[in-house]
Amino acid sequence: MESSKKYDLSGVHGAEVFRDLPEGLKIKLTNGSIGEIVGNPHDGAILLLKILESPSDPSKVGEEEFIFYPDVQEVVSDG
C-alpha cells in the first residue's frame, strides 16, 4: 500500500489532519499492522481501528483496538 497524499501526518499541520481523519481510511501502524478507522472521537489523540493485517500477531486480525497517534506511521489510503 502506498502513502496517502491527501492525509499527510507530518509537519506542523499533522496533528490537525490526524484529529479529523474520517472513518473508512486505512492506516499503517509502527508495528507493521494495517487497520481501518471505525471510530474517531476527534480528540486528536486516539482512533478506534479494525485490524486488517497483523504480521506480528495474526490472531488480532478482525479485532477492534484503540491506538494512539504515536502508534501511527502513515495513512495508506485516500478514502
Partner 1 sequence: MVSVQTSRGDRFLRSFIDTEHGTVSRELYVNEDVFQQELEQIFGRCWLFIGHESLVPNPGDFMVTRMGTEEVLLVRDRKDKQIRAFLNSCRHRGEKVCRYDQGNALVFTCPFHAWTYDSAGRLVGASGQNVPTSYNGELNKDEWGLVEVGQFKNYYGTLWATWDKNAPSFEDYVGPFAESVRYMCESSDGEDNGLEVFTPFQKWRLPTNWKVPAFTSSRDPEHAAMTHRSVNAAAIGPMRELQGGDRGRRRNRIPSESYVVGDHNLGHGGGWTDYKQPGLAPYLDAWYEPGVDDYFRTAHEKKMVKYANRIAPPAGHDAGHICIWPNFIMDSWRWRFWHPHEVGVVERWSLFGVDKVAPKHVKDAVRHYAMRYNGPTGATESDDMENWNYVYPASRGVTARQYDYNFANGFGRGKLREEVPGVVVFNDNRTEEAHRARFSRWLAFMEAKSWDDLYPVNRGANHRIW
* Chain positions contacting partner 1, by CB under 8 A: 31, 39-41, 43, 45-46, 48, 66-68, 70-71
Going by their DSSP bridges, the two strands 46-53 and 34-39 should be labelled as antiparallel
- Nearest distance, CB of residue 66 and partner 1, angstroms: 4
Nearer to partner 1, 2 or 68 (CB): 68
Q: Are 79 and 24 in contact (CB under 8 A)?
A: yes
Distance from chain centroid for Cα 67: 8
Nearest CA to 71 out of 34, 19, 39, 29 is that of: 29
Considering the complex, what minimum distance in angstroms separates the CB of residue 71 from partner 1?
A: 7
CB of 42 to partner 1, least distance (A): 9
